[in-house]
Amino acid sequence: MDTVALAKRRYTTKAYDASRRIPQATVDALLEQLRHSPSSVNSQPWHFIVADSAEGKARLAKSTEPDFAYNTAKILNASHVIVFAARTDMTDAHLQAVLEQEDQDGRFRDEQAKATGDQTRRFYTDLHRLDNKDLQHWMEKQVYLALGTALLGAAAYGLDATPIEGFDSKVMDAELGLRERGFTSVVVLALGYRSEDDFNAGLGKSRLPAQQVFTFL
């Protein structure tokens, strides 16, 4: 797979063909890739809400009105929309659940290795909670790692995609009951196939030249 070609080909879609649906097998594969996204110390501080019905997408679109109305059609016309949510706290229950899953998946050679893995994750959690005082920001950064995974995955499956920050997180959280579950919405990803009306499809991709963005030591 030529990942450079994928990166150059993908772009932010501005209009979707509402008549086209992503095959379920492709959706399943993309979600499995998303589930395997990297995160700092394998903390996985996220939850993903997937909407593929007209009713589900309409619920998500409420968060774009009125201030972000330019994003409403993207959500309504996309085949699938994913809300990326971050935890509002790194709870002991979540840390224990991650640890036990790692144990089930054979991540530890012995009990000492398991204890070390647990201590390391808790060290970084406390570092951000107590010393850096940026626990929420740290968890949201992990969510953006997952977004990057999903964007490249979408390109690999020939899908068009739009990462969306233009929405009201309070409205989204209330609509989905996220805060009561210990999460808050961070970013939305629309997925599907571009419409012929998508002006951005015909524009050249632009990035700063390599000599400006790389320093070699």
Question: What's the sign of the alpha-carbon dihedral 76, 77, 79, 85?
Answer: negative
In a domain, 116, yes or no: no
In a domain, 176, yes or no: yes
Q: What is the pLDDT of residue 189?
A: 98
Supply the CATH number for residue 140's domain: 3.40.109.10
74 is catalytic: yes
Q: Are strands 46-51 and 160-164 parallel, antiparallel or unpaired?
A: unpaired
Residue 180's domain comprises 3-88+135-202
User: CA triplet 8, 9, 15: central angle to 5 degrees?
Assistant: 130
Number of domains the chain contains:
1
If you average pLDDT over residues 48-66, what whole number do you get? 98
List the structure tokens of 55.
């009713």
In a domain, 36, yes or no: yes
What burial letters (b/e) apply to 165-179, b meaning 16+ CB within 10 Å? eebbbebbbebbebe
Strand order in the sheet with 160-164: 46-51, 80-87, 183-192, 160-164
In a domain, 186, yes or no: yes
If you average pLDDT over residues 44-61, what whole number do you get? 98
Is the pLDDT at 1 greater than 90? The verdict is no
In a domain, 198, yes or no: yes
3-state secondary structure string across the chain: CCHHHHHHHCCECCCECCCCCCCHHHHHHHHHHHHCCCCHHHCCCEEEEEECCHHHHHHHHHHHCCCCHHHHHHHHHCCEEEEEEEECCCCHHHHHHHHHHHHHCCCCCCHHHHHHHHHHHHHHHHHHHHHCCCHHHHHHHHHHHHHHHHHHHHHHCCCEEEEECCCCHHHHHHHHCCHHHCEEEEEEEEEECECCCCHHHHCCCCCCCHHHHCCCC
32 is catalytic: no
In a domain, 212, yes or no: no
In a domain, 100, yes or no: no
In a domain, 112, yes or no: no
pLDDT tens-digit series, residues 67-107: 999 999 999 999 999 999 999 999 999 999 999 999 999 99
**Distance between CA 204 and CA 123 in Å, rounded?**
45
The mean predicted confidence, pLDDT, of the chain is 97
- Asked if residue 45 has a cis previous peptide bond (ω within 30° of 0), the answer is no
pLDDT confidence of 212, banded at 50, 70, 90?
very high
**Distance between CA 12 and CA 185 in Å, rounded?**
20
Q: From the candidates 14, 140, 180, 205, give the one annotated as an active-site residue.
A: 14
If you average pLDDT over residues 123-134, what whole number do you get? 98
pLDDT tens-digit series, residues 89-98: 999 999 999 9
Q: From the candidates 32, 133, 165, 170, give the one annotated as an active-site residue.
A: 165
If you average pLDDT over residues 143-155, what whole number do you get? 98
14 is catalytic: yes
Q: Are 89 and 180 in contact (CB under 8 A)?
A: no
